[in-house]
Amino acid sequence: MPMSPSYRDRLFPILPRVAARFGTPFHIYDETGIRETGRRLQQAFARLENFQEYFAVKALPNPRILQIIRDMGFGFDCSSIAELLLARQAGARGEALMFTSNNTSATEFQTALADGGSLLNLDDLSLVAKVPQMPETICFRYNPGPRRSGNSIIGNPVEAKYGVAHHQLIPAYQAAVARGARRFGLHTMLASNERNHTYMVQTVQMLLDVARWVSAELKIRFDFLNMGGGLGIPYHPDDAPFDLEAMATAVTGLLEDFGAEQGYVPRLCMESGRYMTGPHGVLVVTAINRKEIYRTYIGVDASMSALMRPAMYGAYHHIEVLGKTGDMPPQKVDVVGSLCENNDKFAIQRDLPPIDEGDLLVIQDTGAHGHAMGFNYNGKLRPKELLLCADGSVALIRRAETIDDYFATLEFEKQVLNP
């Protein structure tokens, strides 16, 4: 099921007032739902002494959301300077930050090591020599290559640019030891939006096997294993939800077996983005045009600058029309934005209740990789973000972009070179 019945019940009755006060389009997120998912994650792994979720900041990089997540005791997975700064603004420091970059620059390393540092997750053997100073704890991202298959969003590991190849892993840890590293982590991230929990269990099994191998070769222990993110959510009403509890039980068992055999249990880390916030956001738009040509088009007041996933991945996002339920005979329509790209469509040949101009459409599951992925192509501006707070109030947590924002990076009369 897409957005939760609880969020729907709290949001839909107030939506006309919210839309009247703030104006569409907007993404609106649910504090209550995000907190519930966080608690569920903690409960699922309660048998492990120190499970740690590092929320993937790129999924929903808004300070108000990061504060809620920090408040639950979670850390942050960052992969850019801006994400590090956002996470530190939310109060995270040192080991509460994982820096999982790739193709990393010298300035990125400097920022990651400054201001209390962060856990460095290195993406390549060559980066060991480039870290300005080797921290005591170091992690490597592992790419299993042909040993595993990936999934459609992330792709086949052999073709993925990420991570250290299998045959370079021992040299990588060796090089880190030579530069002074004393504590170690192992990370991988192989799938995205994967709803089959056994894939994730196999990933942890793989990490444990690799940890056994590297430990035996180099006589080192692993402080932590990071299984990455990629837990899927049901975007389509027919999608089965990810079985979090089944995964956690199986993974806990694997770690306990490892503990019995090796005499210690590494800390388990996860860096979910989508699973934490995806279902707890919706994009609310107004129908502004209805066009009947070879197909019927419902034009809305947002475009793919507000939500890239349908255009980029052909992703399904469930849509409901406020106040119009299933009793009306549906009509087949394309729901479209105004960008001059024919893939600027939120839904293609979707059966929806008859839509009139002025109707509010609720495009669901936009809480992760939604607003964050937006861009300004064709001069389209990104919409505002709202938060439905736990006390029932609605707060503006990001204003809409303006034309002035769009022009802010242009025209520098004094920056001329006459070579």
Ligand X SMILES: *Cc1c(COP(=O)(O)O)cnc(C)c1O
Catalytic residue annotation: 340
Shortest distance, position 148 Cβ to ligand X, whole Å: 16
Min. distance of Cβ 342 from ligand X in angstroms?
27
CB 223 within 8 A of CB 137: yes
Residue with tokens 């490892």: 258
Nearer to ligand X, 375 or 406 (CB): 375
Token pair for 274: 């989508």
Instruction: Determine whether 269 is exposed, middle or buried from the number of CB atoms within 10 Å of its CB (0-12, 13-18, 19+).
Output: buried
Q: Is 383 exposed, middle or buried (0-12, 13-18, 19+ CB in 10 A)?
A: buried
Any idea which residue has 């956001």 for tokens?
Answer: 281
| Smaller CB separation from ligand X, 77 or 385 | 77
Residue 187 C-beta: closest distance to ligand X, Å = 8
DSSP-assigned letter for residue 108: H
Which residues here bind ligand X, judged by CB under 6 A?
56, 58-59, 77, 100, 189, 192-193, 228-231, 271-275, 368
| CB of 133 vs ligand X, minimal distance in Å | 23
State which amino acid sits at residue 6. S
Nearest-approach distance from CB 121 to ligand X, in angstroms: 8
Nearer to ligand X, 165 or 381 (CB): 165
Nearest residue (CB) to ligand X, 103 versus 289: 103
Minimal distance, residue 246 CB to ligand X, in Å: 18
C-alpha to C-alpha distance for 228 and 399, rounded to whole angstroms: 31
When the beta carbons of 193 and 252 are compared against ligand X, the nearer one is 193
CB 355 within 8 A of CB 333: yes
Over its C-alpha atoms, the chain yields an Rg (Å, rounded) of: 23
Residues 37-73: b if buried by 16+ CB within 10 A, e if exposed: bbeebeebbeebeebbbbbbbbbbbbebbbebbbebe
**Does residue 57 sit in helix, strand or coil?**
helix
Residue closer to ligand X by CB (options 269, 355) is: 269
Shortest Å distance, C-beta 270 to ligand X:
9
Structure tokens at 258: 């490892």
For ligand X, which is the closer residue by CB, 154 or 321? Answer: 154
Amino acid at residue number 359: D
**Strand ranges, E, within 274-375:** 281-292, 296-300, 319-321, 331-336, 345-352, 360-364
- 365 phi, psi to nearest 5 deg: 60, 50
Q: Strand 26-30 and strand 384-388: pairing? A: parallel
- CA distances to 5, 13, 31, 82, 228 from 9, rounded to whole Å, are 6, 7, 14, 35, 33
